[in-house]
């Protein structure tokens, strides 16, 4: 796709509003704090639940872990749920990932009550994988625009190796035979676009990279994450830090493409 116009504000809404915690949250089963601990522990083992919520006066105020249910009642093992452990059901994925940065799980509040649970492992679910893959695609669009503006009329061709340039030209010829309306820059690989950004001080600065090494490392990490997503691999154990950084920078990336939200100039 040739990116020659700013992406409209709908793109901001898709990635900052339309994917929310409720899309991946699991229902939180709960018991009264006076419930018999042994019965609840048996229930959890049968259903392979590690955590259940604990109610006090009808509302979930804490939780228990299966391995810690040693008292007479659930209240004997309760752990209070703190404000930082809770997100709204309509919280964006960026907010959700931020909340999960330093904890393994968060509880989800809907209609004023806690009724859901999201753990880091839930970030393996299809909605999150779609969101992440889309974000990487957005980054590639940003790279494309910045390179095109910095090096008009394919001036970037002098900045990459002859071998990589030849591969792009071969891909362009093949796609043109299929009547696809593309440019040479469209056929450049993600890693090559990242190399151009890393090599040029002006582009590095615009994208917020502090050094060439910083830019190259970021591109390498994004490639690894994209490969993991494409091949349905575990992305939490191997790419968690990349996911956090990517989520943190979403607004900056979209601004590169569009300008501040609401700016239609």
Q: What is the pLDDT of residues 104-136, one digit of tens each?
A: 999 999 999 999 999 999 999 999 999 999 888
Domain extent, residue 211, equals 126-258
- The answer to whether residue 4 scores a pLDDT higher than 90 is no
- The answer to whether residue 259 scores a pLDDT higher than 60 is no
Residue 4 lies in a domain: no
The CA-based angle 122-125-131, given to 5 degrees, is 110
> Is residue 209 very low, low, confident or very high in pLDDT (cuts 50, 70, 90)?
confident
Span 68-72, average pLDDT: 90
**Whether residue 243 is found in the same domain as residue 142:** yes
> Is residue 248 very low, low, confident or very high in pLDDT (cuts 50, 70, 90)?
confident
Q: What is the pTM of this model?
A: 0.84
> Is residue 207 very low, low, confident or very high in pLDDT (cuts 50, 70, 90)?
confident
Residue 139 in contact with residue 222, Cβ under 8 Å?
Answer: yes
**Whether residue 176 is found in the same domain as residue 244:** yes
Residue 8 lies in a domain: no
Higher pLDDT, 12 or 171: 171
Count of domains forming the chain = 2
pLDDT at 125: 96
Residue 110 lies in a domain: yes
Tell me, what CATH number does 30's domain have? 3.10.580.10
> Is residue 253 very low, low, confident or very high in pLDDT (cuts 50, 70, 90)?
low
pLDDT at 254: 64
**Whether residue 138 is found in the same domain as residue 49:** no
């Amino acid at each position: 796709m040739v990116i020659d116009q700013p992406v409209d504000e709908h793109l901001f809404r898709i990635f900052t509003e339309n994917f929310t915690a409720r899309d991946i949250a699991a229902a939180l089963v709960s018991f009264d704090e006076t419930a018999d601990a042994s019965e609840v522990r048996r229930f959890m083992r049968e259903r392979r639940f590690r955590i259940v919520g604990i109610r006090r006066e009808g509302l979930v105020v804490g939780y228990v872990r299966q391995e810690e249910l040693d008292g007479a009642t659930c209240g004997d093992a309760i752990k209070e749920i703190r404000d930082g452990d809770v997100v709204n059901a309509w919280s964006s994925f960026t907010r959700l990932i931020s909340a999960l940065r330093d904890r393994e799980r968060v509880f989800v509040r809907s209609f004023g009550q806690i009724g859901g649970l999201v753990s880091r492992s839930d970030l393996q679910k299809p909605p999150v994988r779609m969101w992440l893959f889309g974000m990487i695609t957005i980054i590639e669009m940003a790279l494309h625009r910045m390179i095109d503006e910095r090096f008009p009329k394919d001036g970037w061709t002098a900045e990459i190796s002859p071998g990589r340039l030849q591969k792009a030209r071969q891909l362009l010829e093949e796609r043109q035979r299929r009547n696809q309306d593309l440019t040479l820059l469209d056929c450049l690989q993600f890693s090559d676009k990242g190399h151009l950004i890393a090599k040029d001080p002006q582009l590095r600065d615009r994208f917020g990279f502090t050094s060439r090494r910083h830019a190259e490392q970021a591109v390498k990490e994004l490639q690894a994450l994209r490969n993991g997503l494409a091949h349905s691999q575990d992305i939490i154990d191997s790419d968690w830090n990349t996911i956090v950084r990517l989520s943190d920078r979403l607004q900056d990336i979209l601004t590169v493409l569009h300008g501040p939200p609401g700016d239609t100039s």
